[in-house]
Amino acid sequence: MIPCFLCRCEDVLAAEVDHAIDLGWTTVEEIKRYTGLGTGPCQGKECLPLLAAHLAARDAAAACALAPFTQRPPAEPAPLAALAGTSEDPTR
C-alpha cells in the first residue's frame, strides 16, 4: 500500500491516525496531541479537512467527534520584532 500523508508539516501518515484511533483517542483534539498532526507551520489549514475526510471515510466519524481543534493566532507566522515595539513597555 502506498503510504498516505495526512499532515505534511509533521509527517503524519493516515496509518498513524488509524493507530491512534485504535488506542482509544476519539476526538480531533486528542488525535492532534497524540500524532502531532496540525502542529506544524500550516497550523492545520491543510491537514484538518484531510483528517475529517479520513475519519468520515473510515466511518470513525460517529465515534470520533469531528469538531476541529482550537484555531489560534497568528493566522500566518509573524516575526517577533514586528509584534514588539507597539503599545507596551515590557520593562514596566
Q: Which of 1, 3, 59, 79 binds another protein (CB under 8 A)?
A: 79
Q: How far is the CB of 67 from another protein (least distance, A)?
A: 12
Query: Of all helices (H) and strands (E), which one includes residue 12?
Result: strand 12-13
Instruction: With CB under 8 A as the rule, give the number of residues binding another protein.
Output: 32
Beta-strand pair 5-7/12-13: antiparallel
Q: Does 80 bind another protein (CB under 8 A)?
A: yes
Q: Which three cell numbers stand for residue 43?
A: 497550523
Asked if omega into 74 is within 30° of 0 (cis), the reply is: yes
Q: Does 89 bind another protein (CB under 8 A)?
A: yes
Subset of residues 7 to 66 that bind another protein, contact rule: CB under 8 A: 23-27, 29-30, 33-34, 39-41, 43
Distances (CA, A) of 75 to 40, 63, 87: 13, 30, 21
Q: Does 75 bind another protein (CB under 8 A)?
A: no
- What is the C-alpha to C-alpha distance for residues 91 and 41, in angstroms, rounded to an integer? 31
Q: Which residues bind another protein (CB under 8 A)?
A: 23-27, 29-30, 33-34, 39-41, 43, 70, 72-74, 77-91
